[in-house]
Amino acid sequence: MNALSRTLAAAAVTAVVALGVTGCNNRSDRAILVTARVDTVNPANGPVTGGTLVTITGANFDFGTTAVLFDGVAGFDVNVINGNTLTVRTPLKLDGTAETVDIIVASNFGSGDSIDAFTFDAVVLNPTIGGSGGGTVVEIPGAGFNAGGQPIVLFGADQAANVAVISDVLVRATTPAVANNGAVDVTFINRFGRVDLPNAFDFDVAVESVVPDLASDAGNTVITIVTNGFNEDFTVTLPAVEFGGTPAAAVLAVAANELDVTVPAGLAVGALDIDVIGANDTATFAGFESVAAVTVGDVVINEFYANVNTGSLEDPNNDGVSDETDDEYIEIVNLTGGPIDLSDFVIQDQLAAVTDRHVFPNPTTIPTDGCIVIFGGGNPTGFGNLHEDAHAQTASTGTLGLNNGGDGINLLDINGVLVEEATYGAGVPDAASQNRDPDGQFNADPTAFVDHDVANNFNGNFFSPGLRVDQTPFP
């Protein structure tokens, strides 16, 4: 339905106006038949909480109009501006459900209806969940609240506290304490009537998100948990967090409803529940996965570019600037057949006194069959668009330090154990990256690389960070 204007089917109110007229043939008490016509309704929709100021245009509204009915319920503040225009505020829709209804214009002399003239839109509270101890501030959207007077709000049979009209379209109320968890109707009452919003609020607690939702069984990955519905402020009262019954290694409150949680070591591999245990309530997240720690053969340094040819304006990181330091890169491919966790893994430069060049942020995960590219610097652009399972980082030290005359790359796990390496000697070309061949396969020989332009499936590109040699996605 057009929210600005709806042309309605002809709607009429027949108003018989008795006129004491004498004239030809000595007739008196003559009656004139007057037809009211409704042309448009603007807006043609509004919330079930009522209060929408609707303008109706048409003709002959000034012949005794007494009410405007929405599905049989009288609107409020009817104002006949002239014979062609009137305004009215919508009533609250008692059952709280979205529906398109008829409008009836009533007068002292009769009535007429307009079919499917106005749509009542559903209303969703924010939030829709809170603890049974009460104290959750809930926002109720609507219209015309400034004209509706002081509202009353009930959660089930219990009256809300601190009910306040914040604006013409927003009311806030604080949930009461209730005896039992569960969904309840929310009742809203003001001058325009009453609406019962069915099962609109759930007295319970919930985990809204866990990022990332997987971590290595080696532990120490930090995940962020956002909750909803707990009455306590986590920065004041810290909850306990458990992974399948095993306590978290550490819990840090970063907001009233947000936690940074360190995953413990030794979790069973597979799906696990996370329980956030508050003072009075426990919320459970069922979508967490513990994955096996990465070992040798689980990942491959599949490609690296040590000698970037800035003279030909090569720009592997796609940031618009060709730079021999920023455009160096290392590509790592996940070979496990499942997601992996590289949080706090380290890339080392073998020939610079075994210098750490990059520490993977915590968290860092690679999805099934995905890859990650680490650039020396710059602003890697577009790697989320190359393939949903390819993403990029920049060296945490500001450089990868890949020497043109030969070097080595170590990938160490969270405990400093070597899980993959690559080495190369002098003479690497300045016009192509070094690539495993076959592409995307583990090779225990750290020197087993070829120039990108002689690898199998080469298709004319001299480097392919985040993609196979032939520029197709992994796998």
Residue 39 reports pLDDT greater than 80: yes
The SS3 assignment for 25 reads: helix
Q: What is the CATH number of domain 6-121?
A: 2.60.40.10
Res 134: pLDDT: 86
Q: What is the mean pLDDT of residues 384-400?
A: 76
Task: Please compute the mean of the pLDDT values over residues 49-67 and round it to a whole number.
Answer: 89
pLDDT over 90 at 330, yes or no: yes
Residues of the chain within CATH 2.60.40.1260 domain(s) are: 299-454
Q: Given 2.60.40.10, 3.40.30.10, 1.20.120.160, 1.10.645.10, which CATH number is that of 206-291?
A: 2.60.40.10
Residues forming CATH 2.60.40.10 domain(s) in the chain = 6-121, 129-203, 206-291
Distance CA 222, CA 230 (A): 22
On the question of pLDDT at 2 being above 70, the answer is no
Of 175-184, 193-202, 296-305, 425-434, least confident by mean pLDDT is 425-434
Mean pLDDT of 350-367: 87
Range 176-188 average pLDDT: 92
> What digits encode the pLDDT tens for the residues 228-253?
888 889 999 999 999 999 999 999 99
Q: What was the pLDDT predicted at 12? A: 36
Question: Mean pLDDT over residues 319-326, rounded?
Answer: 94
299-454 in CATH: which number? 2.60.40.1260
What is the pLDDT averaged over residues 370-398? Answer: 83
Task: Tell me what the pLDDT averaged over the chain comes to.
Answer: 88
* Count helices and strands in the chain by DSSP H and E runs: 1, 41
Please calculate the CA angle 193-199-204 and round it to the nearest 5 degrees: 130
Tell me how far apart the alpha carbons of residues 335 and 389 are, in angstroms, rounded to a whole number: 13
- What average pLDDT score do residues 410-439 get? 91
pLDDT score at 459: 86
Instruction: State how far the Cα of 419 lies from the Cα of 471, in Å rounded to an integer.
Output: 26
CA distances (Å), 445 to each of 33, 59, 119, 297, in order? 100, 89, 70, 11
pLDDT of 232 reads: 87
The pLDDT value recorded for residue 35 is 59
Return the pLDDT at 29: 45
Q: What percent of the chain has pLDDT over 70?
A: 89
DSSP state, residue 386: H
Q: Give, in words, the CATH class of 129-203.
A: mainly beta
- The residue-averaged pLDDT of 104-125 equals 83
pLDDT, tens digit, 9 for 90 and up, residues 443-453: 999 999 999 99
pTM of this structure: 0.62
Structure tokens at 437: 């061949």
Cα distance between residue 251 and residue 373, in whole Å = 31
What is the arithmetic mean of pLDDT over 361-383? Answer: 91
Query: What pLDDT score was predicted for residue 32?
Result: 52
